Every structure is written in C-alpha cells, then in structure tokens.
Amino acid sequence: MRTQVAIIGAGPAGLFLAHLLARAGVDAVVLERRTRDYVEGRVRAGVLEQGTVALMERLGLDARLRAEGLVHTGTNLAYDGEIFRIDMAALTGGSAVTVYGQQEVMRDLFDAAESRGVRIVFEAEDLRLDGLTGDRPSVAFTRNGVAQSLACDFVAACDGFHGVGRASIPADVLKVYERVYPFGWLGILAEVPPVNHELIYANHAHGFALASMRSPTRSRYYVQVGLDERIEDWSDERFWDEVETRLGPQASAGLVRGPSFEKSIAPLRSFVAEPMRYGRLFLAGDAAHIVPPTGAKGMNLAVSDVAMLAEALTLHYAERDASGLDGYSARALARVWKAERFSWWFTGLTHRFPDMDAFARRMQVAELAYIRGSKAAQTAIAENYVGLPMGFGGEPSNR
C-alpha cells in the first residue's frame, strides 16, 4: 500500500486532518487501532471554540452542529455561594462557544468519511514507524493477523498520549514539560435538564465542581476528587449532594437530579513535548500535548494543530514549498503554550490543592473577587475561553 500522508489514529486530530487533506486533494490513509464504535463511544468534553465551528463549516460538516449545538455567549463562575456571569460575546466583539459533544463531532466526521474519500483502516495493530529520518518512511502494522506495510511521504502521529508517534522520537531529541495534578475529575452524564442554560465553574471549600450539558435534556456534571477515590464509593446520591453543595445555593437552585448513565474518573495533567516534528514525522493533538479539562481546550487544540499541519502539507504538494512544514512545530507550539497556560491557570483558580494553606486560599478568593469586578480580567478569560485565533485562512495567529 502507498499513500502521501499516513495518519496514525482516528480521534479528532486524525479525522480532521484526513478530511482537510481530502479536501485539498492530498492522498492520505488513516490507521486506527480500535473500531469505529470504540472511538466514537468515548465520552469527552463538548465545548467547541469558534475556530473549531468554523473548520466544521469549511468542511461542509456543520449542518447538525448548527441545528443541535447550543451557542453559549457567556459562562459562569461560582464561589462563596454566589455566581457571576462572564459575558463572552460582549467582551470579545461577538464571539461565543458551541456546546456539541465530541462524540457528535466524531459521528459527523465518520459519517462523511466515505463520501469524501477519507480512507480509514480500523483495527490496525502492532503499528511500527520506519525510516522517519530518510525520504521513504513507512508504517508496518498487522490486520486480522496479516502483516502489512504502508509506504508514504509523511507520517502524521495523531495517536493520542499513549501512541507510537511520540515514542518513535529519540529521547535526546524530545523535551518534555509536565505537571501532574494531585486530583481528578469524577464526571457523570444524566438524562436531566441542565441546572443553568450556560456552564458553571465552581470553586468551593470541598473542591471544584462543573455544571455542563450535552443538550436541553442531557446534563454533564463533574466534581474534583482525590486520586485515591474509587468510583464504587460514589453513589448517584452522594454525587448529587456534592454537586449541590459545591455549586452553592444560588447556582444549584432548580438542580434536577436523576440516575447517571455514565460515571468515570479522569486524572488531570498538563504536558507538552517539543518539537512536534522529527524528520518526516509530525505530531498533532494529544500525541504532543495534554491539557487539564478546565476550559475544555483538548479537542480544540487538536483542531488548531491539524489545521496548521494540513495547510503546511497542502503547500508542500501544491507548490513544492517546504516552509510550512519547516515552520509547523514552532507555529503549533506557540498556540499550544497559550492554551496550556490558560488551562493551567483556570485549574489553579478553581480547584482545591492538598497543600493549600490559608494564605493560598485567600489569594484564590481574592482573585475570584477581582475577576468578578474587573472588565479587564473578564475580557482575558473570555478571549481565551472562546479560543485564541487558530491562524488558518489568513487569520492573524496572535503571536
């Protein structure tokens, strides 16, 4: 088998890249270890930045998103029993986010794959990358027990945090930056109407809580928990009690409880690997970086990476111009670090850290009080939350 670009992984990074390349007439094959059902079934965040929505539109895949997505022009912070709203649209000249589950995005991308000529090989196992520093790289894998090889010009590793892409880069080439947080998020999905028409991020003495949603009838809630917590110890009743306490009386007024149909604990991590290129291998999405979920930047960051990578690959094939590929790592990382900063900062503002003393706690409350009263501080949150420019299509990239 031969293609121009071998894409490893059919998560958001891999599938968006495959669609962008198909649209540009660049030949690509996606190799995914799992099945479509498995990939599509993973419950992840659901807040799309305006750039992600714009990209779905550019691909002509925004019909369902426009019909079913919930446009949020503001977001809310709760602390000390009270709640205040950040009017993102007013502070950013009209920008907003769209609540539309990652699972829905994946469904739209998978559904359109065949008609757009996006080729995906599922259940590609034991993947190995060869010849990355030469000019004839290849990907070896097995499918149904049969060994296969995909020859290509470039490899795009969109294979997530535990993939083979980053692991194929020699340790002395790669510089890794990491922060592991001393807590996780326990999240549930429930078929109940959301407590509020927009999201609420709450800082409480017991820890962080988030009220989110998937639709007007489906809610997503999270509470910060210790890393030693076990899911079996969290009955729905205990979870709802904790959400209500942490949101506080004002924010939790009208909270509708119901049985959860999904419940899981996820650890929080900040991580960046530099550079995002090694020879003919390019990293994109979680393969290169992880953000804590506070602010919902994970998928949006994967989208901005692959928008830049697709542009660079297209330039290479259309004009034999390597400048995009040469500049990809630096350009992507410039945006990655800003999203890392915001996600890290927003986590610090809203979570309870085990080593926090009384002074640190007062500083957190003082910062929340400052944000509440400051248009400048709210503007800084708003412009990050709706998403810094993705830098595609001639848009300035906020360097």
Active site residues: 72, 201, 293, 297, 385
**Contacted by 10, from ligand APR, ligand PHB, none: CB < 5 to 8 Å by type:** ligand APR
> Cβ(371)–Cβ(384) under 8 Å?
no
Q: Which of 11, 184, 248, 295 binds ligand PHB (CB under 6 A)?
A: 295
For every residue of 263-327, DSSP letters joined together read EEEEEEEEEEEE-SEETTEEE-GGGTEE--STT--HHHHHHHHHHHHHHHHHHHHHH---HHHHH
Question: Angle at CA 312, nearest 5°, toward 127 and 58?
Answer: 95
Amino acid (one-letter) located at 264: S
> Cβ(174)–Cβ(208) under 8 Å?
no
Nearer to ligand APR, 8 or 65 (CB): 8
**Contacted by 212, from ligand PHB, ligand APR, none: CB < 5 to 8 Å by type:** ligand PHB
Q: What are the phi and psi torsion angles at 176 (to 5°)?
A: -115, 135
**Contacted by 324, from ligand APR, ligand PHB, none: CB < 5 to 8 Å by type:** none
Q: Is 14 in the site for ligand PHB (CB under 6 A)?
A: no
Q: Is 220 in the site for ligand PHB (CB under 6 A)?
A: yes
Pick the piece of the chain touching ligand PHB (CB under 6 A) from 120-128, 161-169, 293-301, 354-362. Answer: 293-301
Cα→Cα distances 46→69, 214, 296, 352, 383, Å = 10, 7, 7, 24, 18
Q: Is 223 in the site for ligand PHB (CB under 6 A)?
A: no
Residue ranges in contact with ligand APR by CB under 6 A? 8-14, 31-34, 39, 44, 124, 127, 158-160, 163-164, 285-287, 298-299, 302
Nearest to 336 by CA among 271, 396, 267: 271
Cα separation, 381 vs 358, in Å, equals 25
Q: How far is the CB of 7 from ligand PHB (least distance, A)?
A: 26
Nearer to ligand APR, 74 or 160 (CB): 160
Residues lying near ligand PHB in the complex (CB under 6 A): 45-47, 199, 210, 212, 220, 293-296
